[in-house]
Amino acid sequence: MTTALWGGRFEDGLSDVAKQLSFSVHIDRRLVHEDIRVNKAHANALMHANVLTQTENQSIQSCLDDIDQQFRMNHDLTVETDEDIHSCIERLVTEKLGDLGKKLHTGKSRNDQVITDSRLFIKSACQDIESRILGVIQSLIQFATTYQTTVFPGMTHFQPAQPVLFAHYMLAYVEKLSRDAKRFRQAYHTADVCSLGSAAMAGNSYGLDRHAIATELGFAHVSQNSMDAVSDRDFMLEFLAAASFCMTHLTRFCEEIVIWNSPLVGFINIGDAFTTGSSIMPQKKNPDMAELIRGKSARVLGHLTAMQHLLKSLPLTYNRDLQEDKCMIFDATDTLMDVLSCLQAMIPTMTLNHDQITAALTIGHLTATELADYLVRQGVPFRESHEMTGKIVNFAVSINTQLQDLTLDQYQQFSPKITASVFDAVSLKSAIATKDSIGGTAQSQVDAQLKRVSAQFNTNHSGTESTP
């Protein structure tokens, strides 16, 4: 019968319902390889501190390697009496090595062990997620490049606003995701601190070389306060915040995909591999993957809020409440990884419908701002030009036409300063070309953006489509 790691103080064991509530091995089993790494580093430190002999350490190292290999072969070595993955590993070592295995936990607590495991996990997750973010960025850059010169209706308040290049639109999301990648790099650095050696909360009594432990485990820094080390979950908050930012950006993009894909708008087509049909309506082609990404954001955003509530009002140092942190981290990681992989693959299947986009460009007076700017260049103060343009738009609405279809006589009813040059000013071509400042939608600026991000993210940059 396996003995609990903490059983000496107690006459009675946990009840079955208490075990159901408190045992976490089914969750933290995911940290098995990190936990073995931590145990190996700790055993080496114990040897250098003369707690273990070299021969004893070699036996423990070999045993831990065997256990690691068995778990990698998908052998489930856990049993129902294991509280968590830490007690499982210690049990397995003790079963194989006897009394020697009982030495492994010397100078170490599950408190500093689990936080070190978690930091290792998050460092790896940050790198994997950043890699997938870069994959989505590359897909967006290629999508933008394919339609590098296509004019597209820009919106504010989901109302026609001003014409932009479609590539400019896509590059806006590249900028957002670029910041997300930076946030995960920062989360990596925040997690890159070794807590092992802090023991339960006051530090260890064996003179363990914590810098050597950190180096062996690949940490750049060592925690400087043992009480902070075992209670700190800031790195998890930062990770979940980065994940929440990223999912928020992805939901915004997917909302646009859902709208654009609707036949009522018809701006894009999504490949069949990323859409589904209806069990009753045979005509349907639903953008389910975009909708699922939009929906799964709720889980990730919820985990950030849950983690904040978990930490709220907790006194120092370790409290069992903190056992709940890992399910949030694991689910956020899995969700974001799946979402990014799907989106990276879906974007290359999307194509633009030029006819619908061209039609949309003739609706909503997209070049009204250009008309106001034209009047300014004709000597009309902007506030007056703004009001005059509003009246011209109102007139165009009343006769069911667009600014570009008004006659010169109709324009001159509002101001004799308007000449035939107004037609060039309110053209889509001119509206795009005049936005030739850094960050603008002029073709030269968008080309420069594409060149910059293509070099930054190692993406081939060559356009293949023209303006509709």
Distance CA 459, CA 292 (A): 28
- 145 and 239 together in one domain: yes
Q: What are phi and psi of 276, to 5 degrees?
A: -135, 170
Domain hosting 23: range is 7-106
- 14 and 117 together in one domain: no
pLDDT at residue 99, rounded to an integer = 96
pLDDT at residue 240, rounded to an integer = 98
User: What are the helix (H) ranges across 98-225?
Assistant: 110-146, 166-191, 210-217
User: How many domains are there within the chain?
Assistant: 3
Q: Give domain status of residue 317, yes or no.
A: yes
Residue 278 has pLDDT above 80, yes or no: yes
Following DSSP, what letter does each residue of 385-416 receive, concatenated? HHHHHHHHHHHHHHTT--GGGS-HHHHHTT-T
- 338 and 266 together in one domain: yes
Q: Give domain status of residue 234, yes or no.
A: yes
Contact 287, 258 (CB under 8 A): yes
- 256 and 390 together in one domain: no
Q: What is the arithmetic mean of pLDDT over 292-320? A: 97
- Whether 221 is catalytic is no
Q: Give domain status of residue 315, yes or no.
A: yes
**Of 316, 332, 358, at which residue does a domain stop?**
358
Q: What are phi and psi of 2, to 5 degrees?
A: -75, 135
Q: For the domain that residue 29 is a member of, what is the CATH number? A: 1.10.275.10
Catalytic residue, chosen from 15, 157, 205, 279, is 157
pLDDT at residue 468, rounded to an integer = 34
Q: Give domain status of residue 464, yes or no.
A: no
Closest CA to 245 of 293, 295, 309, 176: 176
- pLDDT tens-digit readout, 222-270: 999 999 999 999 999 999 999 999 999 999 999 999 999 999 999 999 9
**Dihedral sign of CA atoms 232, 233, 239, 244 in order:** negative
Q: For the domain that residue 243 is a member of, what is the CATH number? A: 1.20.200.10
Q: How many C-beta atoms lie closer than 10 Å to residue 234's C-beta?
A: 12
Q: Give domain status of residue 384, yes or no.
A: yes
Catalytic residue, chosen from 62, 131, 262, 278, is 278
- 243 and 379 together in one domain: no
Q: Helix, strand, or coil here: 269?
A: strand
- 367 and 353 together in one domain: no
For 333, residues 6+ apart whose C-beta sits below 8 A from its C-beta are 125, 128, 129, 243
For the ranges 122-131, 263-272, 274-283, 379-388, the lowest mean pLDDT is seen at 274-283
- pLDDT tens-digit readout, 343-382: 999 999 999 999 999 999 999 999 999 999 999 999 999 9
- 43 and 101 together in one domain: yes
Q: What is the arithmetic mean of pLDDT over 290-307? A: 97
- 31 and 19 together in one domain: yes
**Of 307, 329, 358, at which residue does a domain stop?**
358
Residue 467 has pLDDT above 50, yes or no: no
Q: Give domain status of residue 2, yes or no.
A: no
Q: For the domain that residue 385 is a member of, what is the CATH number? A: 1.10.40.30
- 139 and 250 together in one domain: yes
- 311 and 284 together in one domain: yes
For residue 332, what is the enclosing H or E element? helix 325-346
- Whether 205 is catalytic is no
- 318 and 418 together in one domain: no
Task: Kindly report the average pLDDT of the chain as a whole number.
Answer: 94
Pairing of strands 221-222, 193-194: parallel
What is the pLDDT confidence band of residue 5, given thresholds at 50, 70 and 90? low
Q: Give domain status of residue 43, yes or no.
A: yes
**Of 319, 341, 358, at which residue does a domain stop?**
358
- 350 and 284 together in one domain: yes
Radius of gyration of the chain, Cα coordinates, nearest whole angstrom: 31
Distance CA 65, CA 248 (A): 41
pTM of the entire structure?
0.93
Contact 100, 59 (CB under 8 A): yes
Say if residue 402 is exposed, middle or buried (CB neighbours under 10 Å; 0-12, 13-18, 19+): middle
Q: Give domain status of residue 219, yes or no.
A: no
